[in-house]
């Protein structure tokens, strides 16, 4: 069967990705509704009830919108850091101050790897304006996947974690000029552009040109802004920076979309 990465949704209206080995199936983020997650999993030929666990990067609603309902319906363990869990629960307090409870919460810490089934997961800290945001690498059956979105820049520690990935899912959020002249209020522009905001096409191109090891079979551009980016601008910047390292077998550039799941990547 091998390992598979399937991006169900990507962008500021909801993020969710399925990582699977022959024995384990992990949903990374639950940012679309339970109903839509089920629909997209089924469309990709997956049974939602076969999920092993849900793993959360951070508490922003585009990453947790469907979490409470999914966890309840599927009764699977939910993995997040302690600080992410606290902020998630605080944000969902009802009028009596009651926080939602997760039946099967599993707390992990950034920098400490752990297993879900046969998949080894290494969470690492990313610079983003959330309580305790993380990216992940996943290793199973000799393959390494990396996911890093929602980050203001790429610190050396993140660059290190992303070395040796066979599939690299990385943020290409905005074109700097489109954001600058676009419709967002100045305060929001400042937040997106800040060191704890989102990664631009230009910042990602700088990484590809200067520091990326070039070893991935697939590079997936993710969390594209619908207001401040065009898929072809993001692709063009990435392909130009990757240059001759793009071959038939290496560094094929794919784009994750908001409206529909991406074709699954099987290795
Ligand atoms: Zn996000
Ligand atoms: Zn975020």
What's the 188 CA to ligand 1 centre distance in angstroms? 14
DSSP string covering the chain: ---EEEEEE-STT--EEEEE-SS-EEEE---S-HHHHHHHHHHTT--GGG--EEE-S--SHHHHTTHHHHHHHH---EEEEHHHHHHHHHHT--TT-PPP--TTEEEE-TT--EEETTEEEEEEE---SSSS-EEEEEEETTEEEEEE-S-SS--HHHHHHTTT-SEEEEE--B-HHHHHHSSS-HHHHHHHHSTTS--BHHHHHHHHHHT-----SEEEEES--SSS--HHHHHHHHHHHHGGG--SSS-EEEE--SSSPPPPEE-
Query: Do 167 and 20 meet the contact criterion of CB atoms below 8 Å apart?
Result: no
pLDDT mean over 161-190: 97
Q: Is pLDDT of 1 > 90? A: no
What's the 95 CA to ligand 2 centre distance in angstroms? 26
What's the 79 CA to ligand 2 centre distance in angstroms? 17
pLDDT at position 94? 87
Q: What is the pLDDT of residues 103-138, one digit of tens each?
A: 999 999 999 999 999 999 999 999 999 999 999 999
Q: Which ligand approaches the C-alpha of residue 14 most closely?
A: 1
What's the 11 CA to ligand 2 centre distance in angstroms? 10
Q: What is the pLDDT of residues 75-95, one digit of tens each?
A: 999 999 999 999 999 998 888
pLDDT at position 99? 80
CB proximity list for 5: less than 8 A, separation 6 or greater: 17, 18, 19, 145, 167, 169, 220, 264, 265
């Amino acid at each position: 069967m091998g390992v598979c990465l399937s991006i169900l949704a990507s962008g500021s209206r909801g993020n969710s990705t399925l990582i699977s080995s022959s024995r384990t199936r992990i949903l990374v983020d639950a940012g679309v509704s339970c109903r839509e997650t089920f629909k997209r999993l089924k469309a990709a030929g997956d049974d939602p009830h076969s999920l092993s666990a849900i793993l959360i990067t951070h508490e922003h609603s585009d990453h947790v919108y469907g979490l409470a309902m999914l966890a309840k319906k599927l009764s699977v363990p939910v993995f997040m850091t302690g600080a992410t869990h606290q902020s998630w629960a605080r944000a969902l307090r009802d009028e009596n101050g009651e926080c939602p409870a997760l039946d099967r919460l599993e707390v992990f810490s950034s920098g400490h790897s752990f297993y879900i089934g046969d998949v080894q997961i290494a969470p690492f800290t990313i610079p983003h304006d959330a309580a305790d945001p993380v990216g992940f690498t996943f290793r199973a059956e000799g393959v390494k996947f990396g996911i890093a979105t929602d980050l203001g820049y790429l610190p050396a520690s993140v660059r290190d974690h992303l070395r040796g990935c066979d599939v690299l899912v990385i943020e290409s959020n905005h074109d700097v000029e489109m954001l600058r002249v676009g419709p967002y209020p100045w305060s929001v522009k400042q937040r997106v552009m800040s060191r704890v905001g989102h990664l631009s096409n230009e910042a990602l191109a700088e990484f590809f040109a200067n520091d990326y090891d070039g070893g991935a079979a697939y590079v997936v551009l993710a969390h594209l802004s619908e207001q401040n980016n065009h898929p072809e601008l993001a692709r063009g910047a990435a392909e130009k920076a990757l240059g001759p390292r793009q071959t038939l077998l290496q560094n094929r550039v794919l784009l994750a979309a908001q409206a529909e799941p991406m074709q699954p990547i099987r290795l």
